């Protein structure tokens, strides 16, 4: 009985820690990401599946560093950047972050609109309803309630795995494609390779993950469980990305059906994989888009308030943290209005977001690597030789890929 009680106590402790890692990694599969995965599968079949294991390793390394810094220092990333590198650099990074995240939020509201239209709900009804619902949740719910709802939304990503199974792929081909890299002398193929690996890690993720750990009150004593949280989140991300590529590769690719948006893939699946596969894909897209329009504005508000020393946190009231909630509501409301604007071209906005992320990500990763190796901040929790080698190689790879993607986006 003592052994059983200890097991239950360990499980209870883990469940009290779990959240930030899973939520941050899950939102990485936003509407823009789903469109990229769908395009990869529809255009090239299973050929790009090998990028997913590489992306998973890169994401795991970076997210673990963010978790460790938040738990050990008790400070968010923007807070650490201001303290260690000064206000000017911090202000410049926050300016880029706001612009990049705003474009990301617009892209995800476009995903909300597109997925709702599959269910015959006009965007002029659906988008305002989603925006108001997200605003009410964040404004009225404390951290624990919001986190539980976000964890529930993370669980819905399993719908993509079900869609992949319903598509009836040849699993031996899937395994081989995931394990053996292939190459094609094709600029679009190169672009997708870079996009699938290089954009797996968005700048906003590092700021949100670290801020969520601080807001939740996790410490260095919780690191063992938080690492499991990070690993679970990364595995979910990889499963979702791979499932979307498999579902579209098994159905759209053999018929030469090209897609430009994630909702196009959901519609195209119906006659090929059945109405249930199409329905699950569309519900998954709606879930991902709504999830992202909640998290990305929150991430931005956390980062900006940390950077300039303003109060922030979901357990604080509007009067205690007016800038935090004001910035969150402004990003949410303006982005929703942009998507409702008739005939406004959204693709250039999404491309601009990608370019801004390409500028910001290398700086964020290099700064993180410097901070996580600073013994004054991290004490004995600095990177070891092996982890430092892996982290440096990962950072170098992502810096190069982000640079190439930036040039190709311009």
CA angle 388, 367, 365 (to 5 degrees): 70
- CATH label of the domain that carries residue 79: 1.20.1740.10
Whether pLDDT at 164 is above 50: yes
Q: Is 240 domain-assigned?
A: yes
pLDDT single digits (tens) 270-284: 666 667 777 877 888
Residue 186: left if φ>0, alpha if ψ -120 to 50, beta else—which one? beta
Q: What is the spatial distance between Cα 102 and Cα 155, in angstroms, rounded to a whole number?
A: 26
Domain hosting residue 217, numbered range: 19-409
CA angle 178, 241, 125 (to 5 degrees): 160
Q: Is 13 domain-assigned?
A: no
Q: Is 4 domain-assigned?
A: no
Q: Is 69 domain-assigned?
A: yes
Q: Give the residue-averaged pLDDT of 306-329.
A: 91
Full-model pTM: 0.86
pLDDT single digits (tens) 355-373: 677 778 888 888 999 999 9
> Strand, coil or helix: what is 120?
coil
Number of domains in the chain: 1
Q: Is 202 domain-assigned?
A: yes
Whether pLDDT at 410 is above 70: no
Q: What are phi and psi of 223, to 5 degrees?
A: -60, -40
Q: Is 2 domain-assigned?
A: no
């Amino acid at each position: 009985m003592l052994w059983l009680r200890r097991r239950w106590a360990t499980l209870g402790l883990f469940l009290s820690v779990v959240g930030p890692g899973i939520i941050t990694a899950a939102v990485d599969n936003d509407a823009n990401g789903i469109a990229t995965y769908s395009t990869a599968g529809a255009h090239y079949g299973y050929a790009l599946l090998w990028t997913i294991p590489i992306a998973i390793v890169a994401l795991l390394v970076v997210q673990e560093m963010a978790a460790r810094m938040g738990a050990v220092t008790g400070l968010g990333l923007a807070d650490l950047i201001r303290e260690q590198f000064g206000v000017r650099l911090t202000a410049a990074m926050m300016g880029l972050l706001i612009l990049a995240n705003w474009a990301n939020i617009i892209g995800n509201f476009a995903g909300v609109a597109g997925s709702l239209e599959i269910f015959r709900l006009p965007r002029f009804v659906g988008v305002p309803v989603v925006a108001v619902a997200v605003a009410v949740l964040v404004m009225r719910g404390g951290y624990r309630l919001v986190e539980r709802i976000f964890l529930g939304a993370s669980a819905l990503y399993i719908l993509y795995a079900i869609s992949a199974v319903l598509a009836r792929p040849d699993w031996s081909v899937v395994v081989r494609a995931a394990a053996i890299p292939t190459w094609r002398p094709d600029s679009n193929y190169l672009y997708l390779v870079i996009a699938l690996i290089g954009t797996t890690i968005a700048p906003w993720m590092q700021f949100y993950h670290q801020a969520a750990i601080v807001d939740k009150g996790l410490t260095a004593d919780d690191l063992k469980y938080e690492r499991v949280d990070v690993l679970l989140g990364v595995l979910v991300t990889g499963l979702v990305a791979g499932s979307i590529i498999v579902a579209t590769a098994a159905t759209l690719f053999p018929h030469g059906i090209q897609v430009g948006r994630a909702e196009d893939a959901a519609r195209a699946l119906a006659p090929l994989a059945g109405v249930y596969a199409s329905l699950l894909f569309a519900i998954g897209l709606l879930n991902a888009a709504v999830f992202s329009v909640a998290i990305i504005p929150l991430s931005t508000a956390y980062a900006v308030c940390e950077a300039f020393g303003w109060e922030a946190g979901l357990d604080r009231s509007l009067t205690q943290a007016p800038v935090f909630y004001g910035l969150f509501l402004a990003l949410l409301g303006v982005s929703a209005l942009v998507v409702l604007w008739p005939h406004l071209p959204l693709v250039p906005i999404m491309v601009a977001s990608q370019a801004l992320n390409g500028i910001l990500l290398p700086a964020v990763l290099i700064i993180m690597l410097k901070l996580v190796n600073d013994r004054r901040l991290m004490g004995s929790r600095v990177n070891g030789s092996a982890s430092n080698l892996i982290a440096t190689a990962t950072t170098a790879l992502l810096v190069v890929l982000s640079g190439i993607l930036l040039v190709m986006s311009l």
